[in-house]
Amino acid sequence: MPTSPSRSPNQCDRPLLKLSRFLPYQLNHLAETVSRSFSQVYSDRFGIGIPEWRVTATLGEHGQMTARDVGKATSMHKTKVSRAVAGLETKGYLLRTRKDTDQREQALQLTDAGKAMYEEIVPLANAYSNQLQDALSEDQKAQLEDIFARLQAAAENLPGGSGNPA
């Protein structure tokens, strides 16, 4: 029996994955596209990248936190958080102070310049989010929130998810 020119005989017997239809890839690709697009709002003006913005946004929302807490809140690896913190500190947007209770931990907070940057970006971030959501009807927005909640819960309950110690 002749084989298809697009597949070798070995490929017929093994499962295939179409990456562009793989849900984890689709979610990641969309998130990366949106993050890169939104980064245009703050990268030229303030000289910060996506990780620095995430640290800034987290501290702007919550106030003083440790790097570990920022990492948990943003799902960023500790190395990426550390680099972002160092960059923000160098630019004068962030202040690190040792905690009285544990000298190994440092409390992070935005400086006045960091707070001003955050306050300038927030309205732009909200407008950006609203523009994305304008692509959806009110019913679709509600469905999307429900879908996100369901996918988050499902991912947490799968092996390696945060809700299931593996």
Half-sphere exposure for 79 (CA within 13 Å, toward CB): 0
Quote the strand ranges of 21-132, DSSP E: 65-66, 94-98, 106-110
∠ CA(142), CA(143), CA(148), 5° rounding? 100
Walk along the chain (166 residues) and give the pLDDT tens digit of each residue.
555 555 555 566 788 999 999 999 999 999 999 999 999 999 999 999 999 999 999 999 999 999 999 999 999 999 999 999 999 999 999 999 986 766 678 999 999 999 999 999 999 999 999 999 999 999 999 999 999 999 999 999 998 877 644 4
Residues constituting the chain? 166
Taking the domains of the chain in order of start, what are their residue ranges? 22-127, 136-166
Annotation: CATH topology of 22-127: Arc Repressor Mutant, subunit A (1.10.10)
Structure tokens of 157?
């309950």
Q: Write down the pTM of the prediction.
A: 0.82
HSE (side-chain half, CA atoms, 13 Å) at 140: 6
Please give the structure tokens belonging to residue 116. 């001003």
